């Protein structure tokens, strides 16, 4: 654990008058990639909703594994396999505790949120969804929480229903009771919108879904990195997340599911390590979690993810969340100073996470992002894998600035200055 994480964990995680509880100068010392220049300017990295940067604790944990302990896990008798197995299996408990998971066997390692959702769609969905059943989504879901359900509906004859949004990009829950019926078998909803930053009341949605007997999957790709998450408190049945958005490596994430559901689900992939016994005629399958983790696992990536959650846990997720709220509030105030700027989503920081999508006059977001990159400011531009939402908003794309624990008010100022430069370049000033 870094010194900043250790010291911050001893401090109160309350915010005073909207100020951040974090010493971002100290936090930034843990992230070597931030200390560079891009196109002759100090880097300002505001693309965290796409992928976060990695602290030294993660880089060193993975480096140590590859330098000293690399071998395949499970069943190996030699010392390196023992070390690798101990690190890999121990990581599951570390990551499970981070999410308040009491039974670590309920945590399935995947390549990320996308695979986790597809696992549920293919395994639980194929076994439990039938013709005429309904699956409830929302119009602002990431494609990863739409396309797998479309594919399931085509396979089974199920019907997709969608919650709409209000004028500020919040779910219109006035429709929920009408959409939830005895035909509803699954509700799949994002915890936080990757495009608008809207935080959804998933615990309340889950409670209402359970009243009609529906299961609930929460896409936690944008909540797990940025706020305290306890799966029991959410009241959902499945929770999916990605490691690379929460200071961990790419290519790893997870699915939490209730044991009683996972134990009845057939395997998603077949191969080594997910079996109990193999005969030429048929096979029997391992208990969870191994049943859903076929083949050589993501050993280094899981070890890196465990280091990431230890780092975040040391800082405190309440402190991370409070910091992002303060930065987002500051950014909303500053961005509203820019003429011809349209900010999509909730108007206040209290209603959103650290994501701000915007358009500037009729400048294409890709052009805007290119100009900002020339000044060392990294943002995202495009439809953000939310094309149905973009159509709902009446735009083809937006620019998006997204914040994390290492971003500062000075970086927001750099963003605003670069946007003013873009206005001048395009003749709006």
Active site residues: 385
| 381, β-bridge pairs | 399
| β-bridge pairing 215-219 and 184-190 | parallel
* 312 within 8 A of 323, measured Cβ to Cβ: no
Report the distance separating Cα 38 and Cα 143, nearest Å: 31
Report the distance separating Cα 18 and Cα 277, nearest Å: 58
* 360 within 8 A of 419, measured Cβ to Cβ: yes
Residue 107 phi/psi, 5° resolution? -95, 115
Residue among 413, 427, 409, 407 nearest 367 (CA): 427
Residue among 141, 150, 202 nearest 169 (CA): 141
* 224 within 8 A of 246, measured Cβ to Cβ: yes
Residues 6+ apart with CB under 8 A from 149: 121, 125, 135, 137, 160, 186, 188
Task: Determine the straight-line distance between the first and last CA of the chain, rounded to whole angstroms.
Answer: 48
């Amino acid at each position: 654990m870094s010194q900043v994480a250790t010291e911050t964990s001893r401090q109160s995680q309350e915010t005073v008058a909207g100020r951040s509880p974090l010493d971002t100068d100290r936090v930034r010392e843990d992230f070597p990639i931030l200390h560079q220049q891009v196109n002759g300017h100090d880097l300002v990295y505001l693309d965290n909703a796409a992928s976060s940067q990695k602290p030294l604790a993660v880089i060193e944990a993975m480096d140590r594994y590859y330098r000293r302990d690399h071998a395949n896990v499970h069943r190996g008798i030699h010392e390196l396999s023992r070390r690798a197995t101990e690190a890999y299996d121990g990581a599951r408990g570390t990551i499970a505790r981070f999410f308040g998971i009491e039974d670590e066997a309920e945590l399935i390692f995947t390549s990320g949120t996308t695979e986790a959702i597809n696992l549920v769609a293919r395994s639980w969905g194929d076994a439990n969804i039938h013709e005429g059943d309904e699956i409830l989504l929302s119009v602002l879901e990431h494609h990863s929480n739409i396309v797998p359900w479309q594919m399931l509906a085509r396979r089974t004859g199920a019907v997709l229903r969608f919650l709409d949004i209000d004028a500020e990009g919040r779910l219109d829950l006035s429709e929920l009771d009408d959409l939830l019926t005895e035909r509803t078998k699954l509700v799949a909803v994002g915890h936080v919108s990757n495009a608008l930053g809207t935080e959804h009341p998933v615990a309340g949605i889950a409670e209402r879904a359970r009243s009609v007997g529906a299961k609930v999957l929460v896409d936690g790709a944008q909540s797990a990195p940025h706020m305290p998450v306890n799966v029991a408190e959410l009241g959902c049945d499945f929770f999916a997340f990605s490691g690379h958005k929460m200071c961990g490596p790419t290519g790893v994430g997870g699915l939490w599911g209730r044991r009683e559901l996972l134990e009845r689900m057939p395997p998603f992939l077949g191969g080594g390590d997910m079996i109990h016994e193999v005969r030429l005629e048929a096979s029997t399958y391992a208990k969870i979690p191994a049943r859903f983790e076929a083949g050589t696992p993501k050993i280094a990536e899981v070890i890196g993810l465990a280091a990431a959650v230890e780092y975040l846990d040391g800082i405190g997720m309440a402190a991370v969340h409070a910091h992002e709220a303060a930065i987002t509030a500051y950014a909303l105030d500053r961005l509203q100073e820019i003429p011809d700027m349209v900010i999509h989503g909730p108007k206040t920081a209290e209603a959103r996470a650290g994501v701000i999508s915007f358009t500037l006059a009729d400048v294409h977001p890709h052009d805007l992002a290119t100009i900002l990159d020339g000044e060392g400011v990294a943002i995202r531009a495009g439809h953000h894998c939310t094309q149905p939402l973009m159509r709902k908003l009446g735009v083809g794309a937006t620019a998006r600035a997204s914040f994390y624990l290492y971003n500062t008010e000075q970086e927001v100022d750099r963003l605003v200055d670069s946007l003013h430069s873009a206005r001048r370049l395009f003749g709006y000033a």
